[in-house]
Amino acid sequence: MKNLRMKAARVSKDLSQDQLAKAIGVSRQTINAIEKGDYNPTINLCIAICKALDKTLDELFWEEQE
Amino acid sequence: MNIYGFLGFVCGVAVSVLLVWVLLRRFNTDGKTKTEYDERQKVTRGVGFMYAFYVLAAWVVVLIAIDMMEVKLPVTDTVLYFTGIVVSGLFLSWYCIMHDAYWGMNSNVKFYTRFLIAIGALNIIAGIGEIVSGDMVVDGVLSNLFINFEAGILILGIGVFLLIKKHRDGKDSAEDDDEVTESGI
């Protein structure tokens, strides 16, 4: 499932995938894969992304049950 | 081997180790000999190595079957074994390149690409030279000189995979831009 919330948070901070990737020490392709839903990051990477985007884990990665 | 031969061998090994160490440092932008990969790349490379192992194992099974059937191929054993390494190496490269796990975080892409082109060209030119001179086939058997040519094919293959990936990425980035617009972000 695509992570559009992460993408929105990144764009709202005016960060490119490359800039976010450099900020948290991963490759640009990994950020792209997470946003596309092709890769499930570890909790450590999720936390690093949240810190870089000033968001909580819930805001970016928690999926609400319908 | 006499003492001079032994000393020559030791010097050769020492120079090779030094050369590899210098090259490894140049392959990375931060001067480290170890290429760094992020968590996704490590996982992907692990899967790639697993599949490459299966390919190599399948190759060896085929060789065993050929041996058991006592079929004599017009190729030396060394070439046959090396071909297995080339095939599994090509598979690993394909998998890593297509899943964005070939270049590390600190890879010196420009230097590495130039190095690959130089080594690939050297091997292919050497191979072509041996074909032209007629040394490649001895008594109807493909000789060990074919290994140079195979190494060239491996490097050429990696180059082709990288070009295919670059072409694909160009298309994907255009699709991503559309997606951002569609989602209203």
Domain parsing of chain B, residue ranges: 1-34, 36-183
Whole-angstrom distance, CA of residue A29 vs CA of residue A22? 11
Whole-angstrom distance, CA of residue A54 vs CA of residue A9? 9
pLDDT at A56 over 70: yes
Q: Work out the average pLDDT over A37-58.
A: 95
Whole-angstrom distance, CA of residue B180 vs CA of residue A18? 16
pLDDT tens, A14-47? 999 999 999 999 999 999 999 999 999 999 999 9
Q: Please answer yes or no on whether A11 and B180 come within 8 Å at the CB atom.
A: yes
HSE (side-chain half, CA atoms, 13 Å) at B107: 16
B144 - beta bridge partners?
Answer: none
Interface of B with A (CB under 8 A): 38-41, 100, 103, 105, 176, 180, 183, 185
Contact A4/B185 with Cβ under 8 angstroms? Answer: yes
pLDDT tens, B16-27? 999 888 888 888
Task: Catalogue all structural domains in chain A, each as residue range(s) with its CATH number.
Answer: 4-60 (1.10.260.40)
